Amino acid sequence: MTLWLKQHKGTIGAVLLFSAILWLAASGTYEDLLAGTDKTYEELKIFSDVLDIVEKNYIDPVDSTKLVRGAIQGMVQALDPHSSYLSPDAFKELQIDTKGEFSGVGIVITMQDNTLTVISPIEGSPAHEAGIQAGDRILKVDGEDTNNMKLWEAVKKMRGKKGTTVVITVSREGLDEPKDFTIVRDVIPLESVRSYVLKPGYGYLRITNFRDHTFDDVGTALKKLEAAESPLEGLILDLRDNPGGLLDQAVKVADVFLDKGIIVSIKGRLESHSKTYSAHPDKEKHSYPIVLIINEGSASASEIVAGALQDHGRALLLGATSFGKGSVQSIEPLRDGSGLKLTIARYYTPKGQVIQAKGISPDVTVEERFIPQTETPKRHYMHEKDLKNHISAQPQDKPEALKEELKQIRGVKVPGQQPSEVVKELLTKDNQVRRALEILTSWQIFSKTAG
């Protein structure tokens, strides 16, 4: 037994005891318990050997705390793309993401092939105005190479006081060399709901993400649409490029349009991680037909809403198959202010369809969001199934790895435009919205004819 193992015998003993309890609860057999603890103990001995060798022989003195936390990070990252160990700073950044507003450039990023990649710029943000596009690969932030930069570190570097500048260097398909974008930081309001009357009797409701007040904002927007001069005869619910957010907000939004039945089921390995959310009868009825638009950028919470309304026949889905992020993460705060983000369950639609690595398929496929001005080669979005170590659709399934490029995500530019200008842009350039409106108006015509 090494010196390190002797010094940390109490810690390892606690780990082994905890592991033993988990094995006993899961298997119920003493033999499995012994086999599990023996294997874990052997692996821990190897870990202690490596740590001891590094501490004694590395060229420079090392910080054992840093090494152990790095090992924890590597262990959790090996599970799936959405599980991670969060340092105190990273934990704070995560908490900011679901609150009111922050100062920064306004982009949603992910890690693709070990490269920081833009999922989409937030509509009306400084990054959007500067010309940052979905699929851009961020090579440098203020001249600092992002090659070994963690996701949360990049986010923190791009955030800052309003009025300050940051230079982001990106590579992009079609550019011969990397391009610098000088962006002036501004307050990024995390507005999640926008609504417009497209034509008398037909409303448009866009949800960009699910945050603290999304449910309340949806209620306010619906009241405004329903109070218009002409009674609301149809609604377009736009969840394109919606990366998700808070589960409770997604469930509440789906409940607005459903009176009964299951909204979503969550199933994990432990019974405590499994739950079913059901709809409740609403005092206010929203009985008009709905066309819900999704695309490859619709993920997680937005897929829950889409799946629920589709399975209950409450909405017709139009667009393209969604991202396929159907897993549940639990955030556990740790004693030093850090946190553990761990995948604990999968989502299932009311009819039991799995979302993870499959996505929600539309009833009517309309691939292009904007009417193309010129002929360009078709590009592809990244999906959940493209992420390294993604969890499979079902427990113990073998993952399928597919490599695809991100397709440019273009949103409706709202700041600086009057509602009439936004509506005009939707109706003249947005092919999917045009098709959705055609379906709703045809729906009303056929309903009257049948009556």
57-61, 126-130, 258-262, 395-399: least confident range: 395-399
H or E element, residue 428: helix 419-429
Out of 136, 238, 241, 311, the active site residue is 311
pLDDT per position as a tens digit, 188-234: 866 789 999 999 999 999 998 898 899 999 999 999 999 999 999 99
Active-site residue 322, yes or no? Answer: no
In a domain, 26, yes or no: yes
Read off the pLDDT band of 250 (50, 70, 90): very high
At residue 100, the pLDDT reads 52
Cβ-Cβ contacts under 8 Å for 288 (sequence gap 6 or more): 232, 233, 234, 235
In a domain, 283, yes or no: yes
Would you call 260 helix, strand, or coil by DSSP?
A: coil
Please check whether residues 257 and 224 belong to one and the same domain: yes
For 63-67, what is the mean pLDDT?
93
Read off the pLDDT band of 16 (50, 70, 90): very low
Please check whether residues 350 and 442 belong to one and the same domain: yes
**In 3D, which of 326, 330, 378 has the Cα closest to residue 354?**
326
Would you call 291 helix, strand, or coil by DSSP?
A: strand
pLDDT per position as a tens digit, 76-103: 989 998 898 998 888 887 776 555 567 8
**What is the number of domains present in the chain?**
3
Read off the pLDDT band of 420 (50, 70, 90): confident
Beta strand ranges found along 142-201 (DSSP E): 144-145, 165-171, 179-184, 186-189, 193-199
Q: Which of 140, 160, 189 is the last residue of a domain?
A: 189
Cβ-contact 370, 325 below 8 angstroms: no
Question: What is the DSSP annotation of 318-348?
Answer: EES------EEEEEEE-TTS-EEEEEEEEEE
pTM: 0.76
pLDDT per position as a tens digit, 101-121: 678 998 878 777 788 988 777
Please check whether residues 165 and 105 belong to one and the same domain: yes
Nearest 5°: phi and psi at 201?
A: 95, -5
Active-site residue 325, yes or no? Answer: yes
Compute CA 436 distance to the chain's CA centroid, rounded to the nearest angstrom: 25
In a domain, 258, yes or no: yes
Percent of the chain with pLDDT over 70: 79
Please check whether residues 146 and 216 belong to one and the same domain: no
Q: Supply the mean pLDDT for the chain.
A: 82
At residue 370, the pLDDT reads 63
Inform me whether the pLDDT recorded for 380 exceeds 60: no
Inform me whether the pLDDT recorded for 135 exceeds 70: yes
Count Cβ atoms below 10 Å from residue 191 Cβ, excluding itself: 19
Instruction: Please give the residue that has the higher pLDDT: either 107 or 165.
Output: 165
Out of 125, 302, 322, 325, the active site residue is 325
14-18, 47-51, 54-58: least confident range: 14-18
In a domain, 74, yes or no: no
For 401-429, what is the mean pLDDT?
58
Out of 120, 298, 300, 327, the active site residue is 300
In a domain, 68, yes or no: no
Instruction: Please give the residue that has the higher pLDDT: either 444 or 236.
Output: 236
At residue 347, the pLDDT reads 95
Please check whether residues 111 and 26 belong to one and the same domain: no
Active-site residue 388, yes or no? Answer: no
Give me the torsion for CA of 355, 357, 361, 367, rounded to 10°. 140
At residue 99, the pLDDT reads 56
Please check whether residues 182 and 245 belong to one and the same domain: no
Cβ-Cβ contacts under 8 Å for 236 (sequence gap 6 or more): 198, 202, 203, 204, 205, 290, 291, 292, 293, 433, 436, 437, 440
At residue 98, the pLDDT reads 54
Q: Which of 154, 170, 189 is the last residue of a domain?
A: 189
In a domain, 153, yes or no: yes
Read off the pLDDT band of 363 (50, 70, 90): very high
pLDDT per position as a tens digit, 312-357: 999 999 999 998 999 999 989 999 999 999 999 999 999 999 999 9
At residue 382, the pLDDT reads 61
Full domain range(s) for residue 16 = 3-62
Whole-number Å distance between alpha carbons of 388 and 114:
10
At residue 381, the pLDDT reads 58
Q: Which residues pair with 328 in a beta bridge?
A: 345
At residue 372, the pLDDT reads 55
Read off the pLDDT band of 383 (50, 70, 90): low
